Amino acid sequence: MKEKRTIIITGGLIGIISVLLVYLGNPANMGFCIACFLRDIAGGIGLHRAGVVQYIRPEIIGLVLGAFILASKNKEFESRGGSSPFTRFILSIIVMIGALMFLGCPLRMILRLGGGDLSALIGIAGFVVGILVGVYFLNKGFNLKRNYKMSKFEGYLFPILNTGLFILLLMSPVFIFFSEKGPGAAHASIWISLAAGLVVGALSQKTRLCMVGGTRDMILFKDNYLLLGFLSIIVFSFIANLSFGFFNLGFESQPIAHSDGLWNFLGMFLVGWASVLLGGCPLRQLILSGEGNTDSVISVIGLIVGAAICHNFGLAASPSGPTINGQIAVGISIIITLIISSVNSEMKIRRE
């Protein structure tokens, strides 16, 4: 019972902190969005040149370092890796293609719902169907093979890299890009964002919070532990949005969102499915990357590269809706995910 109470409190704090971040300057319904923030970082370091989404988001750095610090303190930091890293890299690119079709990762999806954006409901429907497909393959024996122990330093590298990224943000050299308008220009102050990231990172590390894990475990094992965290974020962000006067119910004209139902559904369908194959949502990948899991580091790098691809190839949707390129990319990604799912299922392995 104590465990469940902790994850409900964690979800509540994340919901409230997310709305506070919006109050303090972050884009609307985007207190946290792992996909959007990694996309901003990709822009900040010049991997794409979409001028409105370039910023080094301290929340991301905080999430990684918060998880790193707490995992180290509790002796849970362990360098591991080698579980089909390149497959994970490709799957993560696919997760980002789906997320930037919908305009948000699973965490922003529920924060959007908490802010009254009803398109998020269609996103959630797609997300759940995607998870169901992923679970189908898990039951068919899908896995990406075991990981192995790595040297301690291998695991330290990513937290060190994030510290370096924070120094770059503080020094703001000319080769780092910062949006002057658009979502990339909307942010809370550096230290507040970092602190929010550290707190949420530590809480998520402690509770193993995962947006995709909630629905997955409920279907697979009738275990509602992670789902309680997911639901708590919705409830508390809703309450906080109401209190701050940010709540705005409806489908149309929602902040940094479009209302094309089919593509919102398919975008999150892809995110749900590919995230089940990866073993966790983008937030969980960031937390694991701070705990020394270098397979998750590869996933995070895949998300960043995916974001760069999305903006360089015109795949990312915008408030005016999806692009044709994005629709084609989602279609191709569904086929690739199907191939990855089938090839790594045990039926296939036995035949080999």
Question: Which residues would be at the binding site for other proteins (CB under 8 A)?
Answer: 3, 76, 78, 80, 83, 138, 143-144, 146-148, 208, 210, 213, 216-217, 220-223, 225, 279-280, 293, 295
* Lookup result for tokens 């970082």: 41
- Alpha helix ranges (H) inside 24-115: 34-44, 58-73, 85-102, 106-114
Query: Residue 322 Cβ, how far from other proteins at the closest point, in Å?
Result: 32
Nearer to other proteins, 280 or 290 (CB): 280
Angle, vertex CA 217, rays to CA 70 and CA 89, nearest 5: 65
CB of 161 to other proteins, least distance (A): 22
Q: 148 vs 244, which CB is nearer to other proteins?
A: 148
Q: How far is the CB of 347 from other proteins (least distance, A)?
A: 14
Kindly tell me which of 29 and 285 has the beta carbon lying closer to other proteins. Answer: 285
Contact (Cβ atoms closer than 8 angstroms) between residue 183 and residue 190: no
Nearer to other proteins, 29 or 293 (CB): 293
Calpha distance 59→159 (Å, rounded):
13
| Minimum CB–partner distance for residue 145 and other proteins (Å) | 8
Cα–Cα distances in Å, from 62 out to 108, 154, 191, 342?
17, 20, 10, 36
Instruction: For other proteins, give the closer residue by CB, 147 or 312.
Output: 147
Distance of CA 286 to the CA centre of its chain: 8
Cβ(86)–Cβ(156) below 8 Å: no
CB of 138 vs other proteins, minimal distance in Å: 6
- Closest approach, Cβ 201 to other proteins, in A, equals 16
Comparison of 158 and 246: residue with beta carbon closer to other proteins: 158
- Burial status of residue 75 (CB atoms within 10 A of its CB: 0-12, 13-18, 19 or more): exposed
- In this structure, are residues 43 and 184 in contact, taking their beta carbons and an 8 Å threshold? yes
